[in-house]
Structure 1
Amino acid sequence: MSEKTRDQIEKQYKWVLEDIYPSDGAWEEDYAALEELMKGIPDIKKTLAKDAKSLAKALKAMEKMEHIAGNLFVYARMRRDENNSNTTYQAMTARAMDINVRLGSALSFVNPTLLALKPGVLEGYIESAKDHCKHGRDPKTCKKGGHCKKCDNNVKGNDKLADYDFMLRELIRSREHVLSGKEEKLLSMSADIAGAPKDIFTMIDNADLKFGSVKDANGKRVALSHGKYIVMMQSPDREVRKNTYKIYYKSYQGMINTISAAYSASVKKDVFYARARKYGSALEKSLFSDNVPVSLYDNLIETIHKNLPTMYRYVDVRKKALKLDELYMYDIYTPLAEETHGEYSYEQSMEMVKQGLAVLGDDYASLLQEAQDTGWIDVYETPGKTSGAYSWGVYGVHPYVLLNHRGDLDSVFTIAHELGHAMHTYHSNKYQSEAKAGYEIFVAEVASTVNEILLTHHLLDTVTDKKARKYVLNHYLDQFRTTVVRQTMFAEFEKMTHSAVEQGQALTHEVLCQMYGDLNALYYGPQMQRDDIISYEWSRIPHFYNAFYVYKYATGFSCAVQIASDILSGKKNAVRDYIRFLSSGGSDHPLELLKIAHVDLASGGPVDVCMSEFDKALTEFEQTI
């Protein structure tokens, strides 16, 4: 960990945000330019839907404004992330947020205006973006002697509108769920109220709850917090884990009626909006934006159920590794292996990542080197710097990665993970128009996880030290448990709670705890001792206030396992088609884009492949104990 101030950090370890704006003055110039461009929005509103040419021109003008607005925010926020106490960038971030909100509000007329067009008009605009013969037929059939015998002449479609055809098709697809103008206004007015359950839980969880304290392995009393809870639950001292577990959940038990009321209101909110917009269920509404069928969600749960014997084996292996007669939920977090690798410099870490990802080819390797050499990455922790890690950026400029490199093996995996995001963004931006470059969250974790899995296999193939291999395997197994099995359990809980409300049932804390306790017993199996405390775990999960989101962790990891397996097994065109997937951005629905990389998630096959890999890794780990 660096103890230097940011000014003392060498240049090669800091990102170059000047690639977005060469100076704060240039940022100010763009801010003023956007203010001027926004004055033309009333004119855009008048001509937006006049014809295909006018629509293309309007969309291009709006894209330019949104591009500048995005640049303003990303630059200011990333400057602030360098040192959150810097008041200059605090103010610039606030101003950037303000102009983004004003722009969004000013352009809110677009979708209602387009959807108000007579049926077929918008579809006609989309068709005009396609190449056609002068009689309107597809050029593939308009050939001499082909379908169109009247001409051999093809007419180029509206190139500018072609960039927006997928966006417009998505708008048409949503038409049946868009209400009248008055109804839409009423729903929009309810937004603040709808956010109340999440806001209430956030205040309870982050401000009001007091977790008390617990003694660590040295007898020193430690004040519990969310972060400290995880640290203490990883303690090799079982008594520390047990006491931490009891004391931490006691706080939630003391607020369980209030939290239950907040969560029940959140579920009712989801059901209300689904019914208002004429969806069959809250689950269906949530999946609609990604064009994911409810059957896929159900199949994920069913496939994990079918493979739960592997999870039960994991629990049994953990019990053996810890040399325990009985395993409790407070034993699930403590590592089964110690890291013995020592400390890696940033350069050593990057070299390990590059070696692990060499299988992706020379072009990919060159990009990794470029990321290291040309200011993509901000490496070390400094006072005031935003914690954690992320990848971010703007269209037209290379992506950026924020790290807080510590030098342990987890930090090496973090580099691989974030560079996966960066490479996805780089390829999407390079090969897609701005309107189609942004990819959905559904596929966002695939590239990052592929990198982690490839690195894992590289280490397992090259590391000879038994303790080191055991640590890597333990890290890998925990990913399957937490990202696939546990998140699917969460997904099933959400389905149960929303179904209950849709059927008119009340979500009291007794009902919620019974549901969750039974699910936890099902997913962890007979070797895990059941207690009442774990039944309260649902009450501390903030993701539940953003319903039907967590399943994407499980599906994303499953897809990544299959892609990595194809690459490592030398499957024909696996690398080429994976890079094609990375280059597809948001040009189609996620399930269709994944098929480019030979992943058919709707079949359930990738989840089976994933659980098979879990079983294989578990067998290898079992041989180490």
Structure 2
Amino acid sequence: MSEVKKVKRREEISKEDKWNIEKIYASAEEWEKDFIKLKEMAPKLREFQGRLKDSRELLNFLKLDEEISRLADKLFVYAFLKSDEDTSNNSNQSIKNKVEAYSAELAAMEAFFIPEILSYEEGTIEKAIEENQELKVYKFMLQRVLKRKPHILSKDMEELMASVSDALNAPSSIFGMLTNADMTFPTIKDEEGNEVELTEGNYSIFIKSKDVKVREAAFKALFNTYEHFKNTIASSLTSSIKNFSFVAKTRKYNSSLEASLKPNDIPLEVYDNAIKTINDNLDSLHRYVRTKKKLLGLNEIHMYDLYVPVIDAPKSNIEFNEGVKIIKEALKPLGEEYLKIFDEGIESGWIDIYENKGKRKGAYSWGSYDTMPYVLLNYNYELNDVSTLAHEMGHSIHSYYSRKEQPYTYADYTLFCAEVASTVNENLLINYLIENEKDEKKKLYLINTQLEQIRTTVFRQIMFAEFEKITHEKIDAGEPLTSEDLCKIYHDLNVKYFGEDIIVDKEIDMEWARIPHFYNDFYVYQYATGYSAANSFVKSILEDGGDTVEKYKGFLKAGGSDYPINILKKAGVDMTTPKPIEDTIARFNELLDMLDK
């Protein structure tokens, strides 16, 4: 009998395979000293309340706030990384809980800043900036605050809005409790004929099954369960949309969409162009459906056939160092400087590589202005793990550049830009693998993988975005929406997006009911814009080289020093035009040509 392979304890993992967070604090005692220092410094912020009209006082406040924020960030990062490397370690959990609890107190001490700035007469802050040269570095940040003035309410109204924020977020909480805690799904038969309880977790496995009976059973069991709760979930979703609409109108925005996009200076046409460009190119998605039907050898293709791969994943066992070599070959077009930073990350302890008992699952990149940009992995020797490493190092090198080139105030980048750098690395990797793969089956698998990335990240997310636009516009206009209305809107979108070659099974009409992102209004379109911007960069980098690489590095170095649309535009990617999404569709068609040979 073979020995069961056990997950290692944290202390059994070699030092070279762990991140070097001792570089932040050598011990918990050192962390504790800085935590005490933070608690001594932070109350000094309150002393500036009512004094920010004076340019010297404003500058002194901003300098102190930066010093305190940087210290808090460092304490926070260390505590959370220690907690994530072993969630069963009580002393690690203790410092995490301590700093997490204090962060709310710290936020309260800083809370007067924005209302006070906005309470001044027009021109007051601009005059202070002119008077004091040292304030010029904060100019863009202060301008962003001042732009919110038309949408800020009276002090009493702001307090009222803050006091009802929990109630306004209740629909999302109700949805989460219902779908995560209270809903249960029936059993289905797996490929071996065993009765297995269906869950949201294992649904993603069954829907990719090679056995059509298994994926059909999983599909029907999942969505028929949601249908039992359709009126409750429709009520929670429409209440969430109504709440967002209420806040948008109260803050004097023209629409819910404007309330979501305007604070980041994203023109509404970016959202509308994304939907229009995809709608103008749905023939490509219809062709994908036809190609998939042919390759799977199906007489008819259903919604539950969309996720099954056209070829099984090849078995792989890629050692971490081999994965690093593959990624470096793929990233060569980004130039020596970029690869040097990548090497520095590998060699100087950015990465916590392997799983251990109690370690947080998944992967992420995280750090602060005064720490390294750390990467958490749970590397398991598969191709997907290599892709994850490339993705997270994209985030970390973006952070490295922005922190090196920008002052603290502008070192963080927005969500609109965040996924671009990680997706550039992922796309360079998969393009490289497709280009260099000699085994036809493996090549087919890689082509299908990238096609699925585009289908799910661009086409599907824009369909979601269109659903959001329709439902928010109706509620903004005072139209009620029932579960039947939501099902009809969603059904019609599926018919339009997937075309006449697929059977749009009635169960798919309920899919809107299981999408948690719909409670985070107008969020999902950013997956599609981020992927498309990354694809445009990759296309230019591979075709043009030098100049484009420098522009791309300019994007990485820009951090949050301008609005995201402007940062991308300066780097050569204009998200106010259809081109980035059209470039992505061109790549989709190119991959379809390879698949359809």
The normalised TM-score by structure 1 is: 0.93
Counterpart check, 1:116 vs 2:119: yes
Q: Which amino acid aligns with 2:49?
A: K
C-alpha displacement of 1:78: 1.2
Match of 2:429 in 1: 455
Which deviations, in whole Å up to 9, do the C-alpha atoms of 1:186-239 show, x marking residues without a partner? Answer: 111111101100100010111001012211101122222222000111111110
Which deviations, in whole Å up to 9, do the C-alpha atoms of 1:380-405 show, x marking residues without a partner? Answer: 11121111111001112220111111
Where structure 1 has 5 or more consecutive residues not aligned to the other structure, the ranges are 130-156
Which deviations, in whole Å up to 9, do the C-alpha atoms of 1:256-294 show, x marking residues without a partner? Answer: 111111101100001000000000001100001221111
1:146-225 aligned at under 5 Å gives the runs 157-158=133-134, 161-225=135-199
Match of 1:575 in 2: 549
CA distance in 2 between partners of 1:432 and 1:410 (Å) = 33
Q: Which amino acid aligns with 2:63?
A: K
Match of 2:60 in 1: 57
Per the alignment, in what secondary structure is the counterpart of residue 521 of structure 2? coil
Which residue of the other structure, out of 3, 25, 33, is the alignment partner of 1:29? Answer: 33
CA contact (8 A) 1:341 1:468 kept: no
Match of 2:101 in 1: 98
Which deviations, in whole Å up to 9, do the C-alpha atoms of 1:449-486 show, x marking residues without a partner? Answer: 00011111111221111111111111100111000000
CA distance in 1 between partners of 2:207 and 2:267 (Å) = 38
Which deviations, in whole Å up to 9, do the C-alpha atoms of 1:507-544 show, x marking residues without a partner? Answer: 21000011111111111111110121000000000000
CA distance in 2 between partners of 1:341 and 1:229 (Å) = 22
Counterpart check, 1:12 vs 2:21: no
C-alpha displacement of 1:128: 4.1
The normalised TM-score by structure 2 is: 0.98
Counterpart check, 1:265 vs 2:239: yes
Q: Which amino acid aligns with 1:358?
A: K
Which deviations, in whole Å up to 9, do the C-alpha atoms of 1:138-178 show, x marking residues without a partner? Answer: xxxxxxxxxxxxxxxxxxx22xx233211101011111111
Counterpart check, 1:366 vs 2:366: no
Identity of aligned residues (%): 40
CA distance in 1 between partners of 2:90 and 2:206 (Å) = 35
Counterpart check, 1:408 vs 2:390: no
CA distance in 2 between partners of 1:91 and 1:615 (Å) = 53
Which deviations, in whole Å up to 9, do the C-alpha atoms of 1:74-129 show, x marking residues without a partner? Answer: 21111111111222222221211111111111111101111111111112223346
Match of 1:152 in 2: none
CA distance in 2 between partners of 1:506 and 1:86 (Å) = 50
Q: Which amino acid aligns with 1:23?
A: S
Which residue of the other structure, out of 276, 281, 293, is the alignment partner of 1:307? Answer: 281
CA distance in 2 between partners of 1:77 and 1:213 (Å) = 38
C-alpha displacement of 1:41: 2.1
Which residue of the other structure, out of 78, 81, 85, is the alignment partner of 2:84? Answer: 81
Match of 1:39 in 2: 43
CA contact (8 A) 2:45 2:61 kept: no
Counterpart check, 1:72 vs 2:75: yes
Which deviations, in whole Å up to 9, do the C-alpha atoms of 1:311-339 show, x marking residues without a partner? Answer: 11111111111110111111111111222
Counterpart check, 1:519 vs 2:493: yes
CA distance in 2 between partners of 1:214 and 1:163 (Å) = 61
C-alpha displacement of 1:580: 0.9
CA distance in 1 between partners of 2:342 and 2:48 (Å) = 42
CA distance in 2 between partners of 1:208 and 1:34 (Å) = 42
Which deviations, in whole Å up to 9, do the C-alpha atoms of 1:539-560 show, x marking residues without a partner? Answer: 0000000010000000010100
CA contact (8 A) 2:70 2:370 kept: no
Runs of 4+, deviation exceeding 4 Å:
none
CA contact (8 A) 1:13 1:380 kept: yes
Q: Which amino acid aligns with 1:11?
A: K
Which residue of the other structure, out of 353, 371, 380, is the alignment partner of 1:379? Answer: 353
Which residue of the other structure, out of 410, 416, 423, is the alignment partner of 1:436? Answer: 410
Number of equivalenced pairs:
593
1:329-340 aligned at under 5 Å gives the runs 329-340=303-314
CA contact (8 A) 1:2 1:380 kept: no
Q: Which amino acid aligns with 1:24?
A: A
CA contact (8 A) 1:356 1:454 kept: yes
CA contact (8 A) 2:50 2:116 kept: no
CA distance in 2 between partners of 1:381 and 1:108 (Å) = 40
CA contact (8 A) 2:45 2:64 kept: no
CA distance in 1 between partners of 2:181 and 2:373 (Å) = 35
1:427-576 aligned at under 5 Å gives the runs 427-571=401-545, 573-576=547-550
Per the alignment, in what secondary structure is the counterpart of residue 558 of structure 2? coil
CA RMSD, 1 decimal: 1.2
C-alpha displacement of 1:21: 1.6
Per the alignment, in what secondary structure is the counterpart of residue 222 of structure 1? strand
C-alpha displacement of 1:572: 5.0
